[in-house]
Chains A and B, each alone.
Chain A
Amino acid sequence: KNEVEQSPQNLTAQEGEFITINCSYSVGISALHWLQQHPGGGIVSLFMLSSGKKKHGRLIATINIQEKHSSLHITASHPRDSAVYICAVAGEKLTFGTGTRLTIIP
């Protein structure tokens, strides 16, 4: 069993839908990192959070330390949100989740 699990592995949705990607972890945590990778592209840091909730534009990340669970939400999804979303438990090194491939259909 991976130390960091993401669900779903793949997600296809219509433009405008509300998207939720889940991340559960079994290891000790200093912080949780959400990353985005477009097809054939680089890796962009979206959020780093250790408690509560953060918002940036249409993206919202939450974390529940007691339940060892984090979620990434996208409101009013757009085709340009199509990417792989990766959560990673952060410490001296990152422990990566398996990634969620999101496709938004116009």
Chain B
Amino acid sequence: NAGVTQTPKFRILKIGQSMTLQCTQDMNHNYMYWYRQDPGMGLKLIYYSVGAGITDKGEVPNGYNVSRSTTEDFPLRLELAAPSQTSVYFCASRSTGTYEQYFGPGTRLTVT
């Protein structure tokens, strides 16, 4: 099993550009999460999903959108990139039977 995979690993965006961060898990987990981690800071929840077709906002959802059309995939969309979105983005997943989350390797995004 590959676990949780994220693409791309690194990206530089110009202000106002849009992009989609991809997250895929092959563990058949129902729950998936998107976090951001600003330099020197802790993790903050952006959006999460409890299953295909269901998404909900976390602490810091503004400027982002998500969709969950399949169990495996949970893409995060940035529509109008802003410098404040410069961060490392982590995707995570877990199964219904446990609270233990498994994290992807992260995407380092810089908006200039």
Contact = CB atoms under 8 A, between A and B. Distances in A.
B62 interface: no
Contact of A93 (B42, B45, B104): B45
Contacts of A94: 33, 43, 45, 101
Interface of B: 31, 33, 42-43, 45, 48, 50, 58, 90, 92, 98-106
A44 B101 CA distance: 9
Contacts, number: 47
A31 interface: yes
A96 B100 contact: no
Interface of A is mostly: strand
Interface of A: 30-31, 33, 35, 42-45, 48, 86, 90-94, 96-99
Given A43-B90, A48-B98, A96 B43 contact: yes
